[in-house]
Structure 1
Protein backbone atom coordinates (compact mmCIF):
# COMPACT_ATOMS: atom_id res chain seq x y z
CA UNK A 1 0.00 0.00 0.00
CA UNK A 2 1.35 3.39 -0.92
CA UNK A 3 0.82 6.09 1.73
CA UNK A 4 0.68 9.72 0.59
CA UNK A 5 0.77 12.97 2.44
CA UNK A 6 -1.26 16.05 1.58
CA UNK A 7 0.37 18.21 -1.01
CA UNK A 8 1.66 21.67 -0.22
CA UNK A 9 2.10 20.95 3.48
CA UNK A 10 -1.62 20.84 4.20
CA UNK A 11 -1.01 19.31 7.62
CA UNK A 12 0.52 22.55 8.86
CA UNK A 13 -2.59 24.51 7.88
CA UNK A 14 -5.11 22.48 9.86
CA UNK A 15 -8.65 21.76 8.71
CA UNK A 16 -8.77 24.68 6.28
CA UNK A 17 -5.62 23.48 4.56
CA UNK A 18 -7.11 19.99 4.32
CA UNK A 19 -10.21 21.31 2.60
CA UNK A 20 -8.12 23.33 0.17
CA UNK A 21 -5.89 20.35 -0.53
CA UNK A 22 -8.87 18.09 -1.24
CA UNK A 23 -10.12 20.73 -3.66
CA UNK A 24 -6.80 20.65 -5.50
CA UNK A 25 -5.73 24.17 -4.55
CA UNK A 26 -1.97 24.60 -4.92
CA UNK A 27 0.03 25.63 -1.85
CA UNK A 28 -2.86 24.49 0.30
CA UNK A 29 -0.72 24.38 3.46
CA UNK A 30 0.52 28.00 3.55
CA UNK A 31 -2.79 29.39 2.28
CA UNK A 32 -4.77 27.34 4.77
CA UNK A 33 -2.50 28.42 7.61
CA UNK A 34 -2.93 32.09 6.65
CA UNK A 35 -6.73 31.74 6.46
CA UNK A 36 -6.80 29.91 9.80
CA UNK A 37 -4.69 32.66 11.34
CA UNK A 38 -7.03 35.40 10.08
CA UNK A 39 -10.18 33.57 11.17
CA UNK A 40 -8.83 32.76 14.64
CA UNK A 41 -7.55 36.31 15.15
CA UNK A 42 -10.85 37.88 14.03
CA UNK A 43 -12.96 35.61 16.24
CA UNK A 44 -10.89 36.12 19.38
CA UNK A 45 -10.52 39.86 18.81
CA UNK A 46 -14.24 40.44 18.18
CA UNK A 47 -15.27 38.32 21.16
CA UNK A 48 -12.79 40.15 23.34
CA UNK A 49 -14.12 43.55 22.24
CA UNK A 50 -17.74 42.49 22.70
CA UNK A 51 -17.36 40.57 25.98
CA UNK A 52 -14.20 41.58 27.83
CA UNK A 53 -14.16 45.36 27.30
CA UNK A 54 -17.74 45.94 28.58
CA UNK A 55 -16.99 43.83 31.66
CA UNK A 56 -13.80 45.79 32.36
CA UNK A 57 -15.61 49.09 31.84
CA UNK A 58 -18.41 48.14 34.25
CA UNK A 59 -15.88 46.94 36.82
CA UNK A 60 -13.96 50.22 36.66
CA UNK A 61 -17.17 52.23 37.01
CA UNK A 62 -18.29 50.20 40.03
CA UNK A 63 -14.97 51.07 41.66
CA UNK A 64 -15.80 54.75 40.99
CA UNK A 65 -12.61 55.44 39.06
CA UNK A 66 -12.37 58.79 37.29
CA UNK A 67 -12.50 59.01 33.50
CA UNK A 68 -8.79 59.88 33.34
CA UNK A 69 -8.01 56.53 35.02
CA UNK A 70 -10.57 54.40 33.13
CA UNK A 71 -9.46 55.53 29.68
CA UNK A 72 -5.82 54.25 29.80
CA UNK A 73 -6.85 51.03 31.56
CA UNK A 74 -9.29 50.31 28.76
CA UNK A 75 -6.50 50.97 26.26
CA UNK A 76 -4.28 48.46 28.06
CA UNK A 77 -7.13 45.93 27.99
CA UNK A 78 -7.52 46.44 24.22
CA UNK A 79 -3.79 45.84 23.73
CA UNK A 80 -4.00 42.63 25.77
CA UNK A 81 -6.93 41.44 23.67
CA UNK A 82 -4.89 41.97 20.49
CA UNK A 83 -1.93 40.11 22.03
CA UNK A 84 -4.11 37.16 23.08
CA UNK A 85 -5.79 37.08 19.64
CA UNK A 86 -2.40 36.93 17.90
CA UNK A 87 -1.16 34.16 20.22
CA UNK A 88 -4.28 32.05 19.71
CA UNK A 89 -4.17 32.64 15.96
CA UNK A 90 -0.54 31.50 15.77
CA UNK A 91 -1.39 28.29 17.57
CA UNK A 92 -4.55 27.64 15.54
CA UNK A 93 -2.69 28.16 12.26
CA UNK A 94 0.07 25.74 13.26
CA UNK A 95 2.78 28.37 13.52
CA UNK A 96 4.20 26.86 16.70
CA UNK A 97 7.82 26.77 15.54
CA UNK A 98 7.56 30.30 14.21
CA UNK A 99 6.11 31.50 17.50
CA UNK A 100 9.00 29.95 19.43
CA UNK A 101 11.52 31.60 17.12
CA UNK A 102 9.70 34.90 17.49
CA UNK A 103 9.83 34.63 21.29
CA UNK A 104 13.58 34.00 21.15
CA UNK A 105 14.17 37.00 18.93
CA UNK A 106 11.92 39.13 21.12
CA UNK A 107 13.81 38.14 24.26
CA UNK A 108 17.13 39.03 22.62
CA UNK A 109 15.78 42.36 21.39
CA UNK A 110 14.18 43.38 24.69
CA UNK A 111 17.45 44.62 26.19
CA UNK A 112 18.35 46.72 23.15
CA UNK A 113 14.84 48.13 22.93
CA UNK A 114 14.91 48.96 26.62
CA UNK A 115 18.05 51.08 26.24
CA UNK A 116 16.69 52.75 23.11
CA UNK A 117 13.36 53.57 24.77
CA UNK A 118 14.53 54.88 28.13
CA UNK A 119 12.64 58.15 27.76
CA UNK A 120 9.49 56.36 26.60
CA UNK A 121 9.64 53.98 29.56
CA UNK A 122 10.32 56.89 31.89
CA UNK A 123 7.23 58.70 30.65
CA UNK A 124 5.22 55.47 30.86
CA UNK A 125 6.15 54.97 34.52
CA UNK A 126 5.39 58.65 35.17
CA UNK A 127 1.98 58.13 33.58
CA UNK A 128 1.30 55.22 35.92
CA UNK A 129 2.14 57.45 38.90
CA UNK A 130 -0.24 60.12 37.59
CA UNK A 131 -3.05 57.56 37.46
CA UNK A 132 -2.34 56.24 40.94
CA UNK A 133 -1.44 59.47 42.77
CA UNK A 134 -3.98 61.65 40.92
CA UNK A 135 -2.17 65.00 41.25
CA UNK A 136 -4.62 66.32 38.65
CA UNK A 137 -7.54 65.14 36.53
CA UNK A 138 -8.95 65.90 33.10
CA UNK A 139 -10.53 69.35 33.27
CA UNK A 140 -8.25 70.62 36.06
CA UNK A 141 -6.35 73.91 35.80
CA UNK A 142 -2.65 73.24 36.53
CA UNK A 143 0.56 75.27 36.57
CA UNK A 144 4.14 73.98 36.17
CA UNK A 145 7.52 75.40 35.10
CA UNK A 146 5.99 78.74 34.11
CA UNK A 147 3.21 77.10 32.07
CA UNK A 148 -0.49 76.85 32.88
CA UNK A 149 -3.65 75.52 31.29
CA UNK A 150 -6.55 73.08 31.41
CA UNK A 151 -5.82 69.33 31.21
CA UNK A 152 -7.61 67.88 28.17
CA UNK A 153 -6.17 64.37 27.99
CA UNK A 154 -3.94 62.04 30.01
CA UNK A 155 -2.32 59.03 28.34
CA UNK A 156 0.37 56.62 29.49
CA UNK A 157 3.13 58.64 27.78
CA UNK A 158 2.01 62.27 27.48
CA UNK A 159 -0.60 64.66 28.79
CA UNK A 160 -2.25 67.36 26.69
CA UNK A 161 -2.90 70.77 28.19
CA UNK A 162 -4.85 73.62 26.57
CA UNK A 163 -3.31 76.96 27.54
CA UNK A 164 -5.40 80.06 28.19
CA UNK A 165 -4.16 81.42 24.84
CA UNK A 166 -5.85 78.36 23.22
CA UNK A 167 -2.54 76.64 22.49
CA UNK A 168 -2.33 72.86 22.88
CA UNK A 169 0.74 71.65 24.79
CA UNK A 170 1.76 67.98 24.54
CA UNK A 171 3.74 67.43 27.74
CA UNK A 172 5.78 64.27 28.50
CA UNK A 173 4.46 62.80 31.73
CA UNK A 174 7.92 62.80 33.31
CA UNK A 175 7.94 66.62 33.10
CA UNK A 176 4.82 66.65 35.28
CA UNK A 177 6.13 64.21 37.89
CA UNK A 178 9.76 65.33 38.22
CA UNK A 179 8.87 68.91 39.19
CA UNK A 180 6.32 70.78 41.26
CA UNK A 181 2.77 70.94 39.91
CA UNK A 182 0.36 73.57 41.18
CA UNK A 183 -3.26 72.50 41.07
CA UNK A 184 -5.37 75.41 42.31
CA UNK A 185 -8.64 73.51 41.82
CA UNK A 186 -7.64 70.27 43.57
CA UNK A 187 -9.82 71.20 46.53
CA UNK A 188 -13.35 72.57 46.60
CA UNK A 189 -12.29 76.07 47.64
CA UNK A 190 -9.54 78.49 46.62
CA UNK A 191 -8.09 81.37 48.61
CA UNK A 192 -7.27 84.59 46.75
CA UNK A 193 -4.95 87.30 48.04
CA UNK A 194 -4.51 90.91 47.04
CA UNK A 195 -2.30 93.63 48.53
CA UNK A 196 -3.95 97.06 48.78
CA UNK A 197 -1.64 100.00 49.36
CA UNK A 198 -2.89 103.11 51.19
CA UNK A 199 -1.15 106.32 52.21
CA UNK A 200 0.53 106.78 55.59
CA UNK A 201 -1.93 109.57 56.44
CA UNK A 202 -5.01 107.44 55.65
CA UNK A 203 -7.19 105.70 58.23
CA UNK A 204 -6.08 102.06 58.38
CA UNK A 205 -9.21 100.93 60.25
CA UNK A 206 -11.49 102.62 57.72
CA UNK A 207 -9.63 101.06 54.80
CA UNK A 208 -9.80 97.64 56.46
CA UNK A 209 -13.55 98.04 56.99
CA UNK A 210 -14.07 98.91 53.29
CA UNK A 211 -12.06 95.91 52.12
CA UNK A 212 -14.07 93.55 54.35
CA UNK A 213 -17.42 95.07 53.40
CA UNK A 214 -16.78 94.75 49.67
CA UNK A 215 -15.71 91.13 50.11
CA UNK A 216 -18.85 90.31 52.10
CA UNK A 217 -21.09 91.98 49.52
CA UNK A 218 -19.64 90.11 46.52
CA UNK A 219 -21.86 87.10 45.64
CA UNK A 220 -18.94 84.85 44.60
CA UNK A 221 -16.87 85.40 47.75
CA UNK A 222 -17.59 82.99 50.59
CA UNK A 223 -18.70 84.10 54.04
CA UNK A 224 -17.05 81.00 55.52
CA UNK A 225 -14.07 81.01 55.68
CA UNK A 226 -14.56 84.70 56.38
CA UNK A 227 -12.58 87.40 54.52
CA UNK A 228 -9.61 88.76 56.47
CA UNK A 229 -7.28 91.75 56.18
CA UNK A 230 -3.81 92.04 57.70
CA UNK A 231 -1.29 94.87 57.69
CA UNK A 232 1.74 93.20 56.12
CA UNK A 233 3.94 95.96 54.70
CA UNK A 234 5.27 99.39 55.54
CA UNK A 235 6.64 100.42 52.18
CA UNK A 236 8.51 103.51 51.04
CA UNK A 237 5.32 105.28 50.02
CA UNK A 238 2.40 103.13 51.21
CA UNK A 239 1.00 100.91 53.94
CA UNK A 240 0.21 97.41 52.64
CA UNK A 241 -3.08 95.77 53.64
CA UNK A 242 -3.31 92.18 52.40
CA UNK A 243 -6.82 90.88 51.81
CA UNK A 244 -7.53 87.13 51.88
CA UNK A 245 -10.82 85.89 50.42
CA UNK A 246 -12.21 82.47 49.44
CA UNK A 247 -14.20 81.33 46.39
CA UNK A 248 -16.04 78.03 45.90
CA UNK A 249 -15.57 75.41 43.13
CA UNK A 250 -12.98 77.59 41.37
CA UNK A 251 -11.92 77.71 37.75
CA UNK A 252 -9.38 80.09 36.29
CA UNK A 253 -12.05 82.22 34.63
CA UNK A 254 -13.94 82.49 37.93
CA UNK A 255 -10.74 83.34 39.75
CA UNK A 256 -9.76 86.18 37.38
CA UNK A 257 -13.31 87.57 37.12
CA UNK A 258 -14.00 87.55 40.87
CA UNK A 259 -10.68 89.11 41.83
CA UNK A 260 -11.03 91.81 39.17
CA UNK A 261 -14.54 92.77 40.27
CA UNK A 262 -13.55 92.77 43.92
CA UNK A 263 -10.48 94.97 43.45
CA UNK A 264 -12.46 97.39 41.28
CA UNK A 265 -15.20 97.87 43.90
CA UNK A 266 -12.62 98.43 46.65
CA UNK A 267 -10.87 101.04 44.49
CA UNK A 268 -14.17 102.84 43.92
CA UNK A 269 -14.92 102.85 47.67
CA UNK A 270 -11.44 104.18 48.39
CA UNK A 271 -12.04 107.04 45.96
CA UNK A 272 -15.39 107.81 47.60
CA UNK A 273 -13.85 107.84 51.09
CA UNK A 274 -10.77 109.87 50.02
CA UNK A 275 -8.39 107.01 50.76
CA UNK A 276 -5.38 107.32 48.53
CA UNK A 277 -3.58 104.53 46.71
CA UNK A 278 -0.15 106.17 46.43
CA UNK A 279 2.46 105.46 43.82
CA UNK A 280 6.22 105.50 44.49
CA UNK A 281 7.94 108.90 44.49
CA UNK A 282 11.64 109.37 43.85
CA UNK A 283 13.53 112.55 44.78
CA UNK A 284 16.90 113.15 43.15
CA UNK A 285 19.39 115.37 45.00
CA UNK A 286 23.05 116.34 44.79
CA UNK A 287 25.36 118.74 43.02
CA UNK A 288 27.20 118.90 39.72
CA UNK A 289 30.81 120.00 39.49
CA UNK A 290 32.26 121.09 36.16
CA UNK A 291 36.04 120.77 35.91
CA UNK A 292 37.78 123.87 34.54
CA UNK A 293 34.73 126.07 35.07
CA UNK A 294 36.79 129.00 36.43
CA UNK A 295 39.23 128.95 33.49
CA UNK A 296 36.38 128.93 31.03
CA UNK A 297 34.71 131.84 32.89
CA UNK A 298 37.91 133.93 32.85
CA UNK A 299 38.36 133.35 29.12
CA UNK A 300 34.78 134.45 28.52
CA UNK A 301 35.34 137.66 30.55
CA UNK A 302 38.39 138.51 28.44
Structure 2
Protein backbone atom coordinates (compact mmCIF):
# COMPACT_ATOMS: atom_id res chain seq x y z
CA UNK A 1 0.00 0.00 0.00
CA UNK A 2 2.85 2.34 0.97
CA UNK A 3 4.74 1.53 -2.24
CA UNK A 4 1.62 2.36 -4.26
CA UNK A 5 1.42 5.78 -2.61
CA UNK A 6 5.06 6.55 -3.44
CA UNK A 7 4.60 5.55 -7.05
CA UNK A 8 1.69 7.97 -7.30
CA UNK A 9 3.97 10.91 -6.33
CA UNK A 10 7.05 9.85 -8.24
CA UNK A 11 5.93 11.24 -11.59
CA UNK A 12 5.12 14.79 -10.34
CA UNK A 13 8.36 14.88 -8.37
CA UNK A 14 10.27 13.85 -11.46
CA UNK A 15 8.65 16.66 -13.45
CA UNK A 16 9.59 19.21 -10.76
CA UNK A 17 13.18 17.99 -10.68
CA UNK A 18 13.41 18.14 -14.46
CA UNK A 19 12.04 21.70 -14.44
CA UNK A 20 14.53 22.81 -11.79
CA UNK A 21 17.39 21.15 -13.69
CA UNK A 22 16.21 22.82 -16.90
CA UNK A 23 16.06 26.22 -15.21
CA UNK A 24 19.53 25.67 -13.83
CA UNK A 25 20.92 24.81 -17.26
CA UNK A 26 19.16 27.86 -18.74
CA UNK A 27 20.56 30.08 -15.98
CA UNK A 28 24.07 28.76 -16.61
CA UNK A 29 23.61 29.26 -20.34
CA UNK A 30 22.22 32.80 -19.86
CA UNK A 31 24.78 33.79 -17.21
CA UNK A 32 27.17 35.44 -19.72
CA UNK A 33 24.24 37.31 -21.30
CA UNK A 34 23.04 38.36 -17.85
CA UNK A 35 26.45 39.75 -16.95
CA UNK A 36 26.58 41.59 -20.28
CA UNK A 37 23.08 43.00 -19.65
CA UNK A 38 24.08 44.25 -16.18
CA UNK A 39 27.22 45.86 -17.59
CA UNK A 40 25.12 47.44 -20.35
CA UNK A 41 22.71 48.98 -17.80
CA UNK A 42 25.63 50.34 -15.75
CA UNK A 43 27.27 51.83 -18.85
CA UNK A 44 24.01 53.48 -19.97
CA UNK A 45 23.42 54.82 -16.44
CA UNK A 46 26.87 56.44 -16.44
CA UNK A 47 26.27 57.71 -19.97
CA UNK A 48 22.90 59.18 -18.88
CA UNK A 49 24.58 61.10 -16.04
CA UNK A 50 27.33 62.34 -18.35
CA UNK A 51 24.94 63.48 -21.08
CA UNK A 52 22.63 65.20 -18.56
CA UNK A 53 25.59 67.18 -17.20
CA UNK A 54 26.67 68.13 -20.72
CA UNK A 55 23.13 69.27 -21.58
CA UNK A 56 22.99 71.28 -18.34
CA UNK A 57 26.27 73.07 -19.16
CA UNK A 58 25.16 73.83 -22.72
CA UNK A 59 21.76 75.17 -21.63
CA UNK A 60 23.28 77.23 -18.79
CA UNK A 61 25.25 79.13 -21.44
CA UNK A 62 22.32 79.58 -23.82
CA UNK A 63 19.42 80.28 -21.43
CA UNK A 64 18.95 81.52 -17.87
CA UNK A 65 15.72 79.55 -17.43
CA UNK A 66 16.58 77.13 -14.60
CA UNK A 67 13.30 75.24 -14.97
CA UNK A 68 13.99 74.55 -18.63
CA UNK A 69 17.50 73.38 -17.77
CA UNK A 70 16.17 70.95 -15.16
CA UNK A 71 13.51 69.68 -17.56
CA UNK A 72 15.90 68.84 -20.40
CA UNK A 73 18.42 67.39 -17.95
CA UNK A 74 15.87 64.94 -16.57
CA UNK A 75 14.42 64.08 -19.98
CA UNK A 76 17.88 63.22 -21.36
CA UNK A 77 18.79 61.19 -18.26
CA UNK A 78 15.66 59.02 -18.24
CA UNK A 79 15.59 58.65 -22.04
CA UNK A 80 19.15 57.29 -22.14
CA UNK A 81 18.45 55.06 -19.14
CA UNK A 82 15.31 53.65 -20.80
CA UNK A 83 17.28 52.85 -23.97
CA UNK A 84 19.83 50.99 -21.85
CA UNK A 85 17.11 48.92 -20.18
CA UNK A 86 15.58 47.94 -23.52
CA UNK A 87 19.01 46.98 -24.90
CA UNK A 88 19.66 44.86 -21.80
CA UNK A 89 16.33 43.07 -22.20
CA UNK A 90 17.18 42.41 -25.85
CA UNK A 91 20.51 40.85 -24.82
CA UNK A 92 18.57 38.54 -22.48
CA UNK A 93 16.33 37.61 -25.44
CA UNK A 94 13.27 38.98 -23.69
CA UNK A 95 11.88 40.83 -26.71
CA UNK A 96 8.41 39.39 -26.23
CA UNK A 97 8.56 40.39 -22.58
CA UNK A 98 9.45 43.95 -23.61
CA UNK A 99 6.41 44.06 -25.91
CA UNK A 100 4.16 42.77 -23.13
CA UNK A 101 5.62 45.28 -20.69
CA UNK A 102 4.99 48.15 -23.10
CA UNK A 103 1.38 47.05 -23.56
CA UNK A 104 0.96 46.73 -19.80
CA UNK A 105 2.54 50.12 -19.21
CA UNK A 106 0.11 51.64 -21.68
CA UNK A 107 -2.92 50.19 -19.91
CA UNK A 108 -1.56 51.06 -16.46
CA UNK A 109 -0.66 54.56 -17.63
CA UNK A 110 -4.20 55.09 -18.93
CA UNK A 111 -5.67 53.96 -15.61
CA UNK A 112 -3.25 56.10 -13.60
CA UNK A 113 -4.00 59.06 -15.85
CA UNK A 114 -7.64 58.99 -14.76
CA UNK A 115 -6.73 58.33 -11.13
CA UNK A 116 -4.13 61.11 -10.90
CA UNK A 117 -5.52 63.77 -13.20
CA UNK A 118 -4.35 66.63 -10.94
CA UNK A 119 -0.78 65.33 -10.80
CA UNK A 120 -0.72 64.84 -14.57
CA UNK A 121 -2.18 68.32 -15.07
CA UNK A 122 0.48 69.88 -12.83
CA UNK A 123 3.23 67.95 -14.64
CA UNK A 124 2.07 69.06 -18.09
CA UNK A 125 1.63 72.62 -16.81
CA UNK A 126 5.19 72.48 -15.46
CA UNK A 127 6.49 71.50 -18.89
CA UNK A 128 4.56 74.33 -20.55
CA UNK A 129 5.79 76.85 -17.98
CA UNK A 130 9.37 75.65 -18.48
CA UNK A 131 9.11 76.18 -22.25
CA UNK A 132 7.17 79.47 -22.20
CA UNK A 133 9.04 80.85 -19.14
CA UNK A 134 6.59 83.54 -17.90
CA UNK A 135 8.34 83.53 -14.51
CA UNK A 136 11.87 82.85 -13.28
CA UNK A 137 13.52 82.28 -9.93
CA UNK A 138 13.94 85.62 -8.17
CA UNK A 139 10.89 87.25 -9.80
CA UNK A 140 8.32 88.98 -7.60
CA UNK A 141 4.89 87.72 -8.64
CA UNK A 142 1.30 87.75 -7.46
CA UNK A 143 -0.85 84.70 -8.24
CA UNK A 144 -3.78 82.97 -6.53
CA UNK A 145 -3.93 85.82 -3.98
CA UNK A 146 -0.32 85.18 -2.93
CA UNK A 147 2.49 87.69 -3.52
CA UNK A 148 6.18 87.02 -3.01
CA UNK A 149 9.52 86.05 -4.52
CA UNK A 150 9.85 82.89 -6.61
CA UNK A 151 12.38 80.64 -4.85
CA UNK A 152 12.01 77.39 -6.80
CA UNK A 153 10.17 75.87 -9.75
CA UNK A 154 9.82 72.24 -10.77
CA UNK A 155 7.47 70.10 -12.83
CA UNK A 156 4.82 69.94 -10.09
CA UNK A 157 4.77 73.16 -8.05
CA UNK A 158 6.15 76.69 -7.96
CA UNK A 159 7.46 77.87 -4.59
CA UNK A 160 7.27 81.51 -3.53
CA UNK A 161 8.34 83.21 -0.31
CA UNK A 162 5.80 85.82 0.72
CA UNK A 163 6.76 89.17 2.24
CA UNK A 164 5.27 87.92 5.52
CA UNK A 165 7.92 85.18 5.60
CA UNK A 166 5.76 82.17 4.64
CA UNK A 167 6.71 79.61 1.99
CA UNK A 168 3.81 78.88 -0.36
CA UNK A 169 3.68 75.95 -2.80
CA UNK A 170 1.40 76.74 -5.73
CA UNK A 171 0.43 73.92 -8.16
CA UNK A 172 1.64 74.60 -11.68
CA UNK A 173 -1.88 74.15 -13.05
CA UNK A 174 -2.94 77.18 -10.97
CA UNK A 175 0.04 79.17 -12.26
CA UNK A 176 -0.93 78.36 -15.84
CA UNK A 177 -4.67 79.01 -15.48
CA UNK A 178 -4.74 82.03 -13.14
CA UNK A 179 -3.65 85.56 -13.98
CA UNK A 180 0.01 86.14 -13.06
CA UNK A 181 1.21 89.62 -12.09
CA UNK A 182 4.99 89.78 -12.60
CA UNK A 183 6.43 92.87 -10.93
CA UNK A 184 9.98 92.16 -12.10
CA UNK A 185 9.56 92.02 -15.88
CA UNK A 186 9.86 95.75 -16.61
CA UNK A 187 12.06 96.63 -13.63
CA UNK A 188 9.79 99.44 -12.40
CA UNK A 189 6.52 99.94 -10.56
CA UNK A 190 4.07 102.82 -10.17
CA UNK A 191 3.18 104.21 -6.75
CA UNK A 192 -0.40 105.54 -6.55
CA UNK A 193 -1.09 107.89 -3.64
CA UNK A 194 -4.45 109.49 -2.77
CA UNK A 195 -4.40 112.89 -1.02
CA UNK A 196 -6.90 115.64 -0.22
CA UNK A 197 -6.60 119.42 0.29
CA UNK A 198 -8.93 122.06 1.67
CA UNK A 199 -11.60 123.66 -0.52
CA UNK A 200 -9.98 127.03 0.15
CA UNK A 201 -6.61 126.20 -1.45
CA UNK A 202 -5.33 127.30 -4.85
CA UNK A 203 -5.50 124.02 -6.77
CA UNK A 204 -2.95 125.02 -9.40
CA UNK A 205 -0.47 125.95 -6.67
CA UNK A 206 -1.10 122.62 -4.92
CA UNK A 207 -0.43 120.76 -8.15
CA UNK A 208 2.85 122.60 -8.71
CA UNK A 209 4.10 121.98 -5.16
CA UNK A 210 3.28 118.26 -5.23
CA UNK A 211 4.96 117.67 -8.61
CA UNK A 212 8.13 119.50 -7.50
CA UNK A 213 8.18 117.53 -4.24
CA UNK A 214 7.96 114.17 -6.02
CA UNK A 215 10.58 115.22 -8.58
CA UNK A 216 13.07 116.04 -5.80
CA UNK A 217 12.68 112.67 -4.12
CA UNK A 218 15.52 110.15 -4.46
CA UNK A 219 14.93 106.91 -6.40
CA UNK A 220 12.03 108.36 -8.43
CA UNK A 221 12.49 107.53 -12.12
CA UNK A 222 10.88 108.95 -15.26
CA UNK A 223 9.63 112.14 -13.54
CA UNK A 224 8.20 113.30 -16.87
CA UNK A 225 5.71 110.42 -16.62
CA UNK A 226 4.48 111.43 -13.16
CA UNK A 227 0.71 111.90 -13.20
CA UNK A 228 -1.22 114.38 -11.05
CA UNK A 229 -4.99 114.19 -11.31
CA UNK A 230 -7.81 115.73 -9.29
CA UNK A 231 -10.38 113.00 -8.77
CA UNK A 232 -13.40 114.67 -7.21
CA UNK A 233 -15.12 116.76 -4.56
CA UNK A 234 -14.89 114.89 -1.27
CA UNK A 235 -16.97 115.41 1.87
CA UNK A 236 -14.37 117.75 3.36
CA UNK A 237 -11.64 118.08 0.72
CA UNK A 238 -10.70 118.29 -2.92
CA UNK A 239 -9.27 114.83 -3.66
CA UNK A 240 -6.39 114.09 -6.01
CA UNK A 241 -3.99 111.27 -6.89
CA UNK A 242 -0.27 111.46 -7.50
CA UNK A 243 1.23 108.59 -9.50
CA UNK A 244 4.99 108.22 -9.94
CA UNK A 245 7.46 105.50 -10.94
CA UNK A 246 10.21 103.78 -8.97
CA UNK A 247 12.74 101.06 -9.79
CA UNK A 248 11.35 97.72 -8.70
CA UNK A 249 12.21 95.34 -7.12
CA UNK A 250 15.45 97.21 -6.35
CA UNK A 251 15.86 98.97 -3.01
CA UNK A 252 14.28 101.02 -1.58
CA UNK A 253 11.12 98.97 -1.43
CA UNK A 254 7.68 99.94 -2.71
CA UNK A 255 6.31 100.46 0.82
CA UNK A 256 9.30 102.57 1.82
CA UNK A 257 8.94 104.84 -1.21
CA UNK A 258 5.22 105.28 -0.60
CA UNK A 259 5.95 106.21 3.00
CA UNK A 260 8.65 108.70 1.90
CA UNK A 261 6.20 110.31 -0.52
CA UNK A 262 3.58 110.77 2.21
CA UNK A 263 6.10 112.41 4.55
CA UNK A 264 7.56 114.64 1.81
CA UNK A 265 4.14 115.89 0.67
CA UNK A 266 3.09 116.58 4.28
CA UNK A 267 6.29 118.57 4.92
CA UNK A 268 5.84 120.54 1.69
CA UNK A 269 2.22 121.36 2.58
CA UNK A 270 3.26 122.50 6.07
CA UNK A 271 5.90 124.83 4.65
CA UNK A 272 3.43 126.27 2.12
CA UNK A 273 0.58 126.54 4.70
CA UNK A 274 -1.60 124.20 2.67
CA UNK A 275 -4.25 122.45 4.74
CA UNK A 276 -5.09 118.77 4.61
CA UNK A 277 -8.56 119.00 6.23
CA UNK A 278 -10.03 116.70 8.82
CA UNK A 279 -13.37 115.06 7.98
CA UNK A 280 -16.30 117.40 8.71
CA UNK A 281 -19.69 116.16 9.95
CA UNK A 282 -22.84 118.35 10.06
CA UNK A 283 -25.36 117.29 12.72
CA UNK A 284 -29.05 117.96 11.94
CA UNK A 285 -31.36 117.88 14.95
CA UNK A 286 -34.44 118.92 12.97
CA UNK A 287 -35.27 115.47 11.57
CA UNK A 288 -38.57 113.77 12.35
CA UNK A 289 -38.76 112.76 15.98
CA UNK A 290 -35.96 115.10 17.02
CA UNK A 291 -35.56 118.70 18.09
CA UNK A 292 -33.86 121.66 16.50
CA UNK A 293 -30.62 122.80 18.06
CA UNK A 294 -32.13 126.25 18.83
CA UNK A 295 -35.04 124.66 20.71
CA UNK A 296 -32.68 122.47 22.69
CA UNK A 297 -30.67 125.55 23.60
CA UNK A 298 -33.87 127.33 24.83
CA UNK A 299 -34.77 124.36 27.03
CA UNK A 300 -31.28 124.28 28.46
CA UNK A 301 -31.36 128.02 29.16
CA UNK A 302 -34.83 127.72 30.77
CA UNK A 303 -33.63 125.02 33.10
CA UNK A 304 -30.58 127.02 34.05
CA UNK A 305 -32.80 130.06 34.90
CA UNK A 306 -34.93 127.92 37.15
- TM-score scaled by structure 1? 0.79
Q: In the aligned structure 2, how far is the partner of 1:91 from the partner of 1:271?
A: 87
2:182 is the counterpart of 1:183: yes
Offset, 1:64: 2.8
Offset, 1:261: 1.3
Q: In the aligned structure 1, how far is the partner of 2:72 from the partner of 2:224?
A: 39
| Other-structure match for 1:59 | 58
Offset, 1:11: 6.2
Offset, 1:249: 4.3
| Other-structure match for 1:10 | 27
Offset, 1:83: 2.2
Tell me the alpha carbon deviations over residues 241-274 of structure 1, each in whole angstroms, 9 at most, x when there is no partner.
2112112243586222222212211112212222
Mapping of residues 123-162 of structure 1, within 5 Å? 123-162=122-161
2:247 is the counterpart of 1:248: yes
| Other-structure match for 2:304 | none
Secondary structure in structure 2 of the residue aligned to 1:237: coil
Distance of aligned partners of 1:112 and 1:180 in 2 relative to their CA distance in 1, 3 Å threshold: same
Offset, 1:36: 4.3
* Alignment: residue pair count: 269
Q: In the aligned structure 2, how far is the partner of 1:246 from the partner of 1:126?
A: 34
Mapping of residues 15-164 of structure 1, within 5 Å? 15=32, 33=34, 35-50=35-50, 52-164=51-163
Tell me the alpha carbon deviations over residues 170-200 of structure 1, each in whole angstroms, 9 at most, x when there is no partner.
1111111212111122113222211121111
Offset, 1:217: 1.5
Q: Please, which runs of 5 or more residues in structure 1 have no aligned partner?
A: 17-32, 291-302
Q: In the aligned structure 1, how far is the partner of 2:201 from the partner of 2:100?
A: 87
Q: In the aligned structure 1, how far is the partner of 2:56 from the partner of 2:263?
A: 49
Offset, 1:65: 4.4
Q: In the aligned structure 2, how far is the partner of 1:36 from the partner of 1:219?
A: 71
Q: Which has the larger radius of gyration?
A: 2
Structure number with higher helix proportion? 2
Contact 2:215 2:223 in 1 (8 A): no
Distance of aligned partners of 1:273 and 1:95 in 2 relative to their CA distance in 1, 3 Å threshold: same
Offset, 1:103: 1.4
Distance of aligned partners of 1:274 and 1:46 in 2 relative to their CA distance in 1, 3 Å threshold: same
Q: In the aligned structure 2, how far is the partner of 1:207 from the partner of 1:100?
A: 82
Q: Please, which runs of 5 or more residues in structure 2 have no aligned partner?
A: 1-20, 291-306
